[in-house]
Amino acid sequence: MTRVEYDNYIVKQNIDISKLNIVIGEKKEIPYITGCFQEDGVWKLYMVGERQDFDIVQQGTEEEIFDVMYSITESRRKRS
């Protein structure tokens, strides 16, 4: 899945990713946030813990990272 496909999915399903603590395209050091951003042509998936500890948990292509972001979004959506 690409970012455009992910964005279209979010719009089509009417999902407010901010309510799911998900950030796309930027780094934020807010507790309990999961997000991704691109740096030097590499996409990075990160999580921020309770004490604002910023951890990059995966690096990869746009497709790899947005496949994971899709899974995280679906998982959090089912729990909310």
pLDDT over 80 (residue 73): yes
The burial of 60, by beta-carbon neighbours within 10 Å (0-12 exposed, 13-18 middle, 19 or more buried), is given as middle
pLDDT, mean over the chain: 96
What pLDDT band is residue 10 in, cutting at 50, 70 and 90? very high
Mean per-residue pLDDT for 29-47? Answer: 97
Report if pTM > 0.75.
Answer: yes
Residue 44 and residue 21: Cα distance in Å, rounded? Answer: 16
**Strand duo 54-60 + 22-24: pairing:** unpaired
Asked whether the predicted pLDDT for residue 26 surpasses 80, the reply is: yes
Give how far Cα 52 sits from Cα of 2, 33, 75, Å. 28, 9, 22
pLDDT for res 80: 74
